[in-house]
Amino acid sequence: MSPFIARPEHGVVWITGASSGMGRALALKLAEEGYKVAVTARSHEKLLELQAEASALAGSIVVLDGDVTSAEDMEHTVAAIEYQHGPVALAVLNAGIYLPARGEDLNHEVFERSFAVNLHGVVNCLVPAVRHMRSRGYGQVALVSSVAGYGGLPGGAAYGASKAALINMAESLKFELERMGIHIQLVTPGYVDTPLTAQNKFEMPDVVSAQQAADTIAAGLKSPAFDISFPKGLVYRAKLLKFLPYSLYFRVLRYFLGSGHKHQSVGPRVTPHPAE
């Protein structure tokens, strides 16, 4: 049986972390294609600006404030979408943060906050979304991870670990969700150029614009593919690295990062806040 692929007539697309960067660009892209898009974040004003920008598009954007770190908030958000706007046909769980975690300055807060948003924040959205989809017998879910989840990078102990967990989660859930008619996909972007990643103090390889990222994701969401990863060159290199023995893996990373790697933080996508 072919996997379910959400179309505008099936219901609402729900995007978390939609007030800036890749999530914002994707919301506009799908609204342009005629979808009704529900957007969630804690930056209310930015969401209202996004809604206004979409007013002339074929579809529409509806605003729902919410904090993905609150399971109660996300239960209410999904219920509000279902009751007021229609069934959640597609959930793109995109909210995330990047906080450097360096060995010389380890602390609980960085790990707790990273996991609260990047991992538990996804679970808080996934549970109610899947419950409603299961009751209907169809749905589509996309978990936004990162190429950083493929392997350890300097400064990425918290971010990379949370994103690696999402990769494992999506792979594991595929077996059960597809039997319920729910098409699950894994989105693994590399470096996406936003005003926030412009603050990075290192050269970002194979960087793509937020619009390019949105176009790639939108195309992938319309396919039966499990993996939506980009840019391909960076993805292939990152995956190949994992086939190396650790002695070579660390040597290759040191070579490409250069002698200053101890002072660099190499997270692929910086978002300071789940609301933004």
Q: Which of 83, 159, 191, 246 is catalytic?
A: 159
Fold (CATH) for 12-258: Rossmann fold (3.40.50)
pLDDT in tens, the chain (276 residues): 799 999 999 999 999 999 999 999 999 999 999 999 999 998 899 999 999 999 999 999 999 989 999 999 999 999 999 999 999 999 999 999 999 898 898 999 999 999 999 999 999 999 999 999 999 999 999 999 999 999 998 889 999 999 999 999 999 999 999 999 999 999 999 988 865 565 565 677 788 999 999 999 999 999 999 999 999 999 999 999 989 999 999 999 888 877 444 444 444 443 433 333
Which residues are within 8 A (CB) of 139 and not within 5 positions of it... i.e. 6 or more apart?
4, 6, 88, 89, 90, 91, 129, 130, 132, 133, 181, 182, 183
What pTM was computed for the model? 0.92
- Confirm whether 249 is a catalytic residue: no
